[in-house]
Structure 1
Amino acid sequence: MLKKSLQVAGALVLSLSMVVGCASNDPNAGGENGGDGLSGTIKIDGSSTVYPVSQAVAEEFMKKNPGVEVTVSKSGTGGGFEKWTKKETDLSDASRTIKDEEKKAAEEAGLEPIEVPVAFDGITVVVNKENDFVDQLTVEQLKKIWEPDSKVKTWKDVNSEWPDEPIKLYGPGTASGTFDYFTEEIVGEGGKSRTDYTQSEDDNTLVQGVAGDKNALGYFGYAYYVENKDKLKAVKVDAGKGAVEPTDETIQNGEYAPLSRPIFIYASKQAMEKEHIKQFMEFYLTEGKELVSDVGYIKMSDEKYGEGLKKLGIE
């Protein structure tokens, strides 16, 4: 009799475990804010520039909400939008605004995009730490280096007083929002660039390339420079009003022109109907904003974050 009772009790426990397990794995499960009441999965992909912010926010959010799994990947802004419009992800990191064709693809997929600025960035032009002759470059010199069919092969081609040594170039791939923004502002047309350079959607690869070659020059998001100041030297940029170094202050006030810019995360009205995504985005723009400076970017004003919350329908 006792044996039979234990068997029945065991079956009941197993059944209850299965029910709880299924509930905790439901990506649409809601729950109140705080800890184990909230569950689901959130997939984010896109800009490698925005990646450090989203990754830091995701880690802190999961500590407070262990029932939610947030994964953050970086395939470039364009690659992220492509996955997002195919509904392979829930949110998309972007270092530029969405293009018309990407917005159309989103709408055709039944998504209503919501653009949310999360921080300020300054695309940083860098050289190797051992470079003792380049302290600044004009926008015209940068254009001469990076434009399609550029004739620049050596540093001497840029400035006759500089060494007759080959320039080794490193920069983002064509799926990168940083590539789009840089070419628009420096070359004069988005997406137009010389192609004979080392490309990568992973900014850490670009950092390693410049740090390992004394004749290298590259560009990427400010946070990756801040994190590697011991290996790299930032080049001041002169847009016609004097050479300006990228710093928190010059990026925030726009003095570091023309390479200061906002960076974004894109949600959709449909994603915001899921409680765990709604609470993640609320966390991102409230507690999460305090992590922006920790990863090397510049925080926006509280008013700007408040506008983002309103866009998302969070009051």
Structure 2
Amino acid sequence: MTDEPTGGSTSRRKFLTAAGSAGALALAGCTQSGSGGDGGDGGDGSSLSGTIDIAGSSTVFPLATAMAERFQSPDSPSGHPEVNINIQSTGSGGGFANHFCPGRTDFNNASRPIQPEEEEACSENDITPVELTVATDALTVVVNNEADWIDCMTVEELRQIWSAEDPPTTWSEVNSDWPDQDIELYGPTDASGTYDYFIEAILGEEGPGHRQDYSATEQDRTIIQGVEGSENAIGYLGFAYYSQNTDRVKALGIDDGDGCVEPSLETARTGEYTPLSRPLFTYVKQSSLAEEHVAEFARFWLENATSQSIVADEVGYVPLNDEDQQATMDALESAIENASG
């Protein structure tokens, strides 16, 4: 496991609050006199400078923020305070379509793999995306704390609630033991990788699709607020946001045929939490890796992707194991060599 860099620590709650309220974060370093532009020595604690632009998934946003803050920390022996890192929470699809594939950003965070049409859009602009796996998430279904009539839901019940085909309006239509009250639904927009993954895992890509009569948002805090505010509400979002709000909403266990399994870092790590465990990614533009400060930040992120203290304890995701980290690092180094050549 990679040691956590010293200095620059900010609580996970700060990251999640920033992601929910602002949707963007600029981590600007203090510019020292006599330096400017790209370049500088990297990897030995001496200064790099330049700008890195990142957009994409709200789910990956807090992890990217944690890594960026440490990379820039002036208190760390390996920190690079003259590198400015701008991070936007736009949704995975919105990031690819509006920022990364048009060439406006160096990285795109994603909570699902890049889609063929996105790869084609990138290719049309001579952009080669390099996929880096950075963590594992447990997509979490939440209800109101006062909903004492439910603690677990089958995959079929979850599918019925969110399907566009003959969607139920009351809880009792799904399960006769549940109250005859209108269901209030909260979830991510169709620009979100979480939305895409939910369709893949629960509704099926060849199915009728995701119902649209729900409160859709790119801000996970809005999902928490909506579910907290109504005893009849249900929503879904990444585990990190739930884990910082366990006193405000209740997570449901999911029964995929072998009994109810609650979402947790451990059940996601072991693969017990099916079908809602998922890998998280960041994609870096290969040509950007020719710039030393971008390549060093990508290396830094992967070097710390196995960190229990950062990835799990602070942000709320499952860190990479050593084998996956090495495979991803090999892919990154190959891309850096290609970019530089």
Deviation of 1:268 (Å): 2.4
1:270 alignment partner, SS class? helix
Q: Deviations over 1:193-221 (max 9, x none)?
A: 11000001111111111112221100010
In structure 1, C-alpha distance between the alignment counterparts of 2:121 and 2:226, rounded to whole Å: 35
In structure 2, C-alpha distance between the alignment counterparts of 1:21 and 1:86, rounded to whole Å: 34
Once the two structures are superposed, the pairs formed by residues 165-314 of structure 1 within 5 Å of their partners are: 165-189=181-205, 192-287=209-304, 289-290=306-307, 291-293=310-312, 294-313=314-333
In structure 1, C-alpha distance between the alignment counterparts of 2:47 and 2:291, rounded to whole Å: 14
1:88 alignment partner, SS class? coil
Once the two structures are superposed, the pairs formed by residues 60-209 of structure 1 within 5 Å of their partners are: 60-63=70-73, 64-82=79-97, 83-189=99-205, 192-209=209-226
Deviation of 1:31 (Å): 2.5
Q: What corresponds to 1:16 in structure 2?
A: none
Larger Rg: 1
In structure 2, C-alpha distance between the alignment counterparts of 1:99 and 1:115, rounded to whole Å: 12
Deviation of 1:23 (Å): 4.7
In structure 1, C-alpha distance between the alignment counterparts of 2:42 and 2:262, rounded to whole Å: 46
Q: What corresponds to 1:4 in structure 2?
A: none
1:153 alignment partner, SS class? coil
In structure 1, C-alpha distance between the alignment counterparts of 2:46 and 2:146, rounded to whole Å: 51
More helix as a share of residues: 1
Q: How well do the aligned residues superpose, as a CA RMSD in angstroms? A: 1.8
Unaligned runs of 5+ in 2: 1-31, 74-78, 337-341
Amino acid at match of 2:193: G
Deviation of 1:100 (Å): 0.4
Normalization by structure 2: what TM-score? 0.83
Q: What corresponds to 2:64 in structure 1?
A: 54
Deviation of 1:122 (Å): 1.0
In structure 2, C-alpha distance between the alignment counterparts of 1:302 and 1:205, rounded to whole Å: 35
Q: What corresponds to 1:43 in structure 2?
A: 53
User: Is contact 2:42-2:296 (8 Å) kept?
Assistant: no
Structure 1 stretch 77-86 or stretch 35-44: which is displaced more?
A: 35-44
Normalization by structure 1: what TM-score? 0.89
Unaligned runs of 5+ in 1: 1-19
Q: Deviations over 1:52-97 (max 9, x none)?
A: 1001111111101111011111110001111101111110000000
1:313 alignment partner, SS class? helix
Amino acid at match of 1:308: T
Identical-pair percentage:
44
2:153 alignment partner, SS class? strand
1:66 alignment partner, SS class? coil
